[in-house]
Amino acid sequence: MARVEGHSEERFLGSDVFESNQRNLPPPNGAGTVREEARDIAIYHECDVAVIGGGPAGCAAAWAAAKAGARVTLVERYNCLGGLSTGGLVMWIDRMTDWHGNHVIQGFARHFIERMPADAVAGPPKADWGSQDLDKFAYWRNRTTAFHGIVQWAPTIDPERMKLNNQEMLLEVGVRIVFHAWAARPLVEHGAAKGVIFESKMGRHALLAKVVVDTTGDGDMFARAGAAFDTDIEEGDVHHSMNTGWVLGGVNMDRWIDWKTQHPEQLAQFMERGREELGYFQTPYVSWRPDIALFLGPRQSGLSALQVDDMTEVEIRSHRLMEGHCQFFRKHAPGFEHVYSLQSAQQLGVRHTRRLAGLARIERKDWPLGVPRADEVGVSPSISPKFPVISVPYGSLVPRQLDGLLVGGRHISCDPSSHGFMREIPQCWLTGHAAGVGAALAVNAGIQPRAVKVADIRKVLREQGAHLSDDAVVADAGQPEQVPAE
């Protein structure tokens, strides 16, 4: 086992990344092929927009498309909405403010959080967003919402109530939700997506749609439809690692935070002992309440979320590590004397598999420019105060050649460095929101998503509460830059 430090000024979340070649299961012994008989598949439903995957991006896309007048069906393989923010227990919602405290990721994200009960959201008051007060920074830094000396809007939210909030927001705007259904492949005719085939307890069925929005997180639909994609990674970053999250109950997080901040030498010894005893080791994050500790699992690299044996390996390791951490912290960590295992995530913590090769691309070389893209459909906070905000182009949601399909979420078109923050939950809300609007407007006009005027998308995004750069500034940017088709 090897441990790699994953932190620099251009990598937002410092963390150990663990590598290991030790496997718990032998390789499978299958060989050869079998032939599956061809058969007719019943049509389950027809709609305007089919959203595949009910994570943050999928919920935003479905909500936005329905509000823009489309008949929307969302297909989700689990029993709840929210993806990694709920089923993955990634309840820490990353930064939505820039380094001056301006709220730049709004739209669906803001509507969603403002609907949450007050006791389900933990984070700094709005008056403190952008504050560089030393005491405020010191307090919020240990609660994952202050970085580089600046307090941010990056709350931690109750995952169970997020599930309900997502569900109710979609039902209120008329979205048809299909739980316990796994989209197996897209339906493609003449180079355009026309729906999907999905599997459920009812068997195999077809969902027909005028536009498909791929929010699977792994690009399952666009990849199986033949669209080009990228898989390269930033080796030293956490963006390509996997884990299963868990939460422990019966803790006193305030006591833990006080101890670790006041006794750094003891903390270092504690960390070293944990690595010696458990191998993979991690300290906790805060949750939405002080008696529950969040562990986003030791991040493991060298494993693929597209390989079932690798995914199984991560789950085996993570469930053992949950019990190991619980016992270790009960014995050695102040504030954890009465800790118990509360819940492990039902959903594997995947950060990266595929990224769309889109008409446009968010790239590291553009970070310092601070120039809105001509086809901007969102604004993301940057990785550190030395960079301005990042303009998100519509072209990063559009395949270079495949029609009838848009993407939203962590698999949008970007380079590995930009993926390090564009994969986060607020950015998935942002890109899902834009994809949903683009899909609805394409249906309304009877055109392909690539032909929708970005000015029309921006108009509807603003009506739905999104934050965008001034139209005049975007107009001055000229024509959208596009990556040439290969």
Q: Please give the order of strands across the beta sheet that includes 242-243.
A: 2-5, 16-19, 299-301, 242-243, 349-350
**Which two tokens mark 16?**
């150990």
Instruction: Give the pLDDT confidence score for residue 179 in this predicted structure.
Output: 98
Q: In which region does residue 335 sit, left (phi positive, over 0), alpha (psi from -120 to 50) or beta (all else)?
A: left
Instruction: Give the count of alpha carbons within 13 A of 420, CB side only.
Output: 25
What distance in Å separates the CA atoms of residue 411 and residue 219, rounded to the nearest whole number? 6
Question: What is the identity of the amino acid at 456?
Answer: D
Is 60 exceeded by the pLDDT of residue 127?
A: yes
412 alpha carbon, distance to own chain's centre: 11
Q: Which residues contact 61 (CB under 8 A, 6 or more apart)?
A: 49, 51, 213, 215, 408, 432, 433, 435, 436, 439
284 alpha carbon, distance to own chain's centre: 20
Q: Tens of pLDDT along 314-364?
A: 999 999 999 999 999 999 999 999 999 999 999 999 999 999 999 999 999
Q: Tens of pLDDT along 380-406?
A: 999 999 999 999 999 999 999 999 999
Q: Which fold has domain 241-350?
A: Alpha-Beta Plaits (3.30.70)
**Which two tokens mark 281?**
């080791």
Q: How far is CA 278 from CA 71, 112, 253, 292, in A?
A: 51, 38, 22, 22
Question: What is the identity of the amino acid at 216?
Answer: T
Instruction: Give the pLDDT confidence score for residue 237 in this predicted structure.
Output: 74
Q: Tens of pLDDT along 71-103?
A: 999 999 999 999 999 999 999 999 999 999 999
Question: What is the identity of the amino acid at 291?
Answer: D
What distance in Å separates the CA atoms of residue 4 and residue 254, rounded to the nearest whole number? 29
**Which two tokens mark 163?**
């599930």
Is 90 exceeded by the pLDDT of residue 474?
A: no
Instruction: Give the pLDDT confidence score for residue 166 in this predicted structure.
Output: 98
List, by residue range, all CATH 3.30.70 domains of the chain. Answer: 241-350
Give buried/exposed letters for 442-473 (b at 16+ CB in 10 A, else e): bbbeeeebbebebeebbebbeebebbbbeeee
Q: Which fold has domain 41-120+158-240+351-485?
A: FAD/NAD(P)-binding domain (3.50.50)
Strands (E), 266-370: 285-286, 292-295, 299-301, 340-344, 349-350, 355-356
Confidence of residue 234 (pLDDT cuts 50, 70, 90): confident
φ, ψ of residue 222 to 5 degrees: the values are -70, -35
Is 80 exceeded by the pLDDT of residue 9?
A: no
